A = this chain, B = another copy of it.
Amino acid sequence: MENELTVVLEQLTRLVRQLATAGELSMSALMLLGRLEREGPQRLTELAVGEGVSQPGMTQLVGRLERDGWVRRTTSTGDRRGVLVEVTPAGRELVGVRRNQRAEALNHLLSTLHPEDQAAIGRALPALTRLIEARTSVTTPRSTTHV
């Protein structure tokens, strides 16, 4: 079943990309904002590990998001080396709007499926959530030799 799941996940990724990026935020920006909105303010290093990107990469992504007003840097951690990144009200608003748009598009797709299929997907959601939670240390930053 793993191979079938692999292919399904690959294609779901394409689906998400198409649903998610039909707007003003890239996939990376959207996922970072989504995390900050769900989990609250976090350290830059924490974010880099969580999103599976390098620390400089996260510095730059946060920089672009900050420039555009979606996140804010704070330094109130006691450790004065650290940076705490939090989503701004505007960013929170944007995440909500985008999430609703995706939900609407998904809803439309779901409505074209047979009720049994819809139910099967619904019943798998908790399991999928736990599958996601199972991956904690699979964080291998990509090499630069990518095509």
Label chain A's interface by main secondary structure: helix
Give the number of copies in the complex: 2
B113 and A130 contacting across the interface, CB-CB below 8 Å: yes
B13 and A52 contacting across the interface, CB-CB below 8 Å: no
Bound CA–CA A10/B134 (angstroms): 16
B134 and A112 contacting across the interface, CB-CB below 8 Å: yes
B138 and A14 contacting across the interface, CB-CB below 8 Å: no
**A76 close to chain B: CB less than 8 A:** no
Bound CA–CA A64/B146 (angstroms): 10
Contact A147 to B34, CB < 8 A, known contacts A127-B117, A140-B22: no
Closest to A67 in B: B147
**A74 close to chain B: CB less than 8 A:** no
A111 to chain B, nearest CB (A): 9
A147 and B25 contacting across the interface, CB-CB below 8 Å: yes
**A97 close to chain B: CB less than 8 A:** no
Bound CA–CA A106/B134 (angstroms): 10
A94 to chain B, nearest CB (A): 10
Q: What are the nearest 7 A-B pairs in CB distance?
A: A124-B124, A117-B127, A22-B140, A26-B146, A2-B103, A29-B147, A120-B127
